[in-house]
Structure 1
Amino acid sequence: MDELLGPASAPVRQVLLKVHSRCNIACDYCYVYQHADQSWRDRPRVMSRATIDLAAARIAEHAGKHDLPFLSVILHGGEPLLAGPDVIDYLVRTVRAAVTSHTKVAFGLQTNGLLLTDRFLELFAAHRIRVGVSLDGPAAANDRHRRFADGRGSHAGAARALRRLNEARHRPLFGGILCAVDVANDPLEVYHHLLTFDPPEIDFLLPHGTWDRPPPHRGPDQDRTPYADWLIPIFDRWYESPAPQTRVRLFESLVSLLLGGPGGAEGLGLGQVDLVTVETDGSLEQGDVLKTVAPGAPATGLHVRWNSFDEYLDHPGARARQAGLAALGAECRRCPLVQVCGGGLYAHRFSTRNGFGNRSVYCADLAAIIRHAARRLAADLPPPSAGK
């Protein structure tokens, strides 16, 4: 397989910095804490200033070597706000000071919102950090999974943060809402609740799982499509909206790919994945979703102290994420939907028997929603001109 993949050809353009390795709530589906890889237990709680310095130097090195016009730095966890405003302030200042090339560095942060105070909002405004908040719908829907360790729900705190971000003075900081799909919830009720916060973008996330450990409601009957059945009513409502003010990343990516354009969501299309993760101890890792696969699955053995991002890109895992069609199993390569589906999210293909050479555990769902969207587009596009 390594010979087929060849060297990675796209530089890193997204750096996910794990500024804190713990969380203040206990979501029962969390891929960091509730799945196979438990490496968080042995990592520092907060990224040290020495590690921040090393990471900043590697970011600057990579940006300069590849003459990058743009690079995104995402502050993540755990819950990144647990790191405190001083750590975040130091990190952003250090990265910006290190990147002396013409590269524009954009900062984002993904949070549950429960610790979003005035001090954080002032800091984010000063540094132009865009903030995404995780919310799974109305209180009953959200609090089924996104709870404190003592069982209390987190909806009220997340909703309070979203209302703050939607105030006129904070609106430029508002990145959007990340929503994990639970088919036990009413899809349109969830969608309309998220829209009440007027987010600039919504991103729907399928629950992570593999063939060894399938996601909820994704049983042995591969003809069933519970997740497509959940998403399709939302797609139709979004598609039929005369002037949607809120982008839905999954649907925009799907439509773009169907029309021959680029994707914008990691789990669709054959585009190259240009992300590296820096853990609190400075380890360079692949995407967090691989924590659902096996202990140590995201690990590369590399570290910001000794290894560059180019060395990370030469790791077999990173190369597989950039190999497009060549990285997929034979069944996927033959599929007529592969240019749009892209095999689905990398980790969702895994089984201990075949590694990542399987179709996605969500294959039937992906096929159903792709075909539905294609039918909607075909009905609205003008017919080909005569004689062409």
Structure 2
Amino acid sequence: MTPEGRVRLRAFDQFVVKLHSRCNLACDYCYVYELRDTGWRERPRTMPEAVRERLVQRVGEHVRRHRPSRVQVALHGGEPLLAGPDVIAGFSAAARRAVTLAGAEAELVVQSNGTLLDEAVLETLLRHGIRVGVSLDGDERAHDRHRRGPAGSRHGGSHARVSAGLALLERPRYRGLFAGLLCVVDPEAGDPAVVFDALADHDPPAIDFTLPYGTWDHPAPLAGSGAYGAWLCAAFDRWWQTGRAARVRLFESIMAQSLFGAGSSSELIGLLPAAAVVIESDGAISWSGSLNAVADGAAHAGGTVFSHSFDAVLSLPGAPEHGVAALCRTCRECPLVSVCGAGLRAHRHGRRRGFANPSVYCRDLSLLIGHIQQKLGSGGFSAAFPEPDGTGGADQRR
């Protein structure tokens, strides 16, 4: 359907697998443990073998029916590395085999806090071709403001342990496994240029900036003040000034949509739906994890891998709708809607009108988009920015 209409997904090509439902850190902005949803308390720590086997079958049948060229299986948590090498290796091998036999290329990635990366873990990941995304919020000061060990733990901030894991990942033997860094923006964490340089020092192939999950009822600190937008504008300038050595999907998506009308590869913006589904450790099927910010159970689709195929899940009530017609009037009439798409769905929620609101980060996104478009219009930027090749894809991240 055209962007002016309502868009419903026809198929998934990204499967976010909660292989382990607990974590060895206690990040204060975590969407799993610190927001509205409490479902993790009742779920098994490690996804049981019966769930893993059924999930692999469901993925295979979905891929056979829809024939995507590429499928991503993302191991998440909690901290997925807590599941252990045997579970990771066995599930990954089975998932890759099912996707390949169904006729698609399988991409396996694990999103980790980085504290458990050692040579034994990296050897397992290397053997099974599993790439690694690591959560890092910048330099030590910025990172350790939020990403700390559990209360009562002998560990304080986690920056030193993450840095040690990244040092291993950056070795030539493992370098090909490095998928990129994920940074949660905090305008009070320090100079954006310092934070960006701390990320770039690890020479990541990609950097993903994301905003803390929140809603109009429960906003993150400073949400809507413009502070996040101003921080991202400064980070963009630093990225461009330093030669764009790493991809930054948020910035590239805004530029590509402004210049070429291309789709977004960042979950924070865009009109088209991310073709992703979340499978919890007990086999329950959820929509985007960001909906944990809305209410207890808001992310739950209502089925499990035992009760529903993934095609059946797409027909369940509550499946997200996208496109301009699915947005509130304020967004439909906004000149930036074709770029921002009203932002992340969870960020629009408020009790009075549900999702029929602009993003709680509307001012911040507007500042960033306007800043980038002004730079594009000032000359030099558009000529240096190539037209996208269409190979990017939106991921679920934490």
The match for 1:361 is 360
Where does structure 2 lack aligned partners over 5 or more consecutive residues? 383-398
8 Å CA contact retained: 2:301, 2:319: no
After the TM superposition, which of the residue ranges 13-22 and 300-309 deviates more from structure 2?
Answer: 300-309
The match for 1:123 is 124
Q: CA deviation at 1:234?
A: 1.1
Deviations 1:126-176 (A, max 9, x none): 111110111111112111111001361100000111111111111000011
Q: CA deviation at 1:31?
A: 0.9
8 Å CA contact retained: 2:131, 2:179: yes
* Runs of 4+ that moved beyond 4 A: 4-7
Where does structure 1 lack aligned partners over 5 or more consecutive residues? 384-388
8 Å CA contact retained: 2:269, 2:342: yes
Whether 1:315 and 2:316 are equivalent positions in the alignment is yes
8 Å CA contact retained: 2:73, 2:107: yes
Distance 1:240 1:139 in 2: 23
Tell me the number of residue pairs that the alignment of Structure 1 and Structure 2 aligns.
373
Query: Of residues 180, 184, 187 in structure 2, which corresponds to 1:183?
Result: 187
Deviations 1:15-55 (A, max 9, x none): 00000000001111111001110100000100011111111
Q: CA deviation at 1:9?
A: 4.0
8 Å CA contact retained: 1:179, 1:202: yes
Distance 2:320 2:212 in 1: 25
Alignment of 1:238-387 (within 5 A): 238-242=239-243, 244-259=244-259, 260-320=261-321, 323-380=322-379
What is the TM-score normalised by the length of structure 1?
Answer: 0.93
Distance 1:140 1:345 in 2: 28
Corresponding letter in the other structure for 2:276: L
The match for 1:136 is 137
Q: CA deviation at 1:214?
A: 1.0
Distance 2:9 2:117 in 1: 39
The match for 1:157 is 161
8 Å CA contact retained: 1:201, 1:247: yes
The match for 2:236 is 235
Q: CA deviation at 1:267?
A: 1.6
Alignment of 1:70-149 (within 5 A): 70-99=70-99, 100-149=101-150
Q: CA deviation at 1:378?
A: 0.9
Corresponding letter in the other structure for 1:278: I
Q: CA deviation at 1:10?
A: 3.3
Q: CA deviation at 1:8?
A: 2.6
Residue 46 of structure 2 aligns to a residue whose secondary structure is coil
Distance 2:303 2:185 in 1: 33
The match for 2:396 is none
Q: CA deviation at 1:208?
A: 1.0
Residue 256 of structure 2 aligns to a residue whose secondary structure is helix
8 Å CA contact retained: 2:15, 2:74: yes
Change (3 A) 1:7 1:255: closer
Residue 130 of structure 1 aligns to a residue whose secondary structure is strand
Deviations 1:202-248 (A, max 9, x none): 11111111000111112xxx5x4101111111101212334x22111
The match for 2:199 is 194
The match for 2:36 is 36
Distance 1:180 1:148 in 2: 17
The match for 2:176 is 172
The match for 2:218 is 213
8 Å CA contact retained: 2:7, 2:273: no
The match for 2:25 is 25
Q: CA deviation at 1:254?
A: 1.0
8 Å CA contact retained: 2:196, 2:238: no
Change (3 A) 1:5 1:57: farther
Distance 1:358 1:7 in 2: 18
Distance 2:83 2:46 in 1: 6
Corresponding letter in the other structure for 1:127: H
The match for 1:386 is none
Corresponding letter in the other structure for 2:28: D
Distance 2:184 2:9 in 1: 32
Corresponding letter in the other structure for 1:75: L
Residue 132 of structure 2 aligns to a residue whose secondary structure is strand
Q: CA deviation at 1:6?
A: 6.5
Distance 1:201 1:333 in 2: 32
Deviations 1:281-314 (A, max 9, x none): 0011011111111010001210101201111112
Residue 203 of structure 1 aligns to a residue whose secondary structure is strand
8 Å CA contact retained: 1:8, 1:314: no
The match for 2:10 is 10
Q: CA deviation at 1:59?
A: 0.6
Distance 2:27 2:62 in 1: 35
Cα RMSD between the aligned structures?
1.7
Residue 202 of structure 2 aligns to a residue whose secondary structure is coil
8 Å CA contact retained: 2:61, 2:102: no
The match for 2:392 is none
8 Å CA contact retained: 1:52, 1:94: no
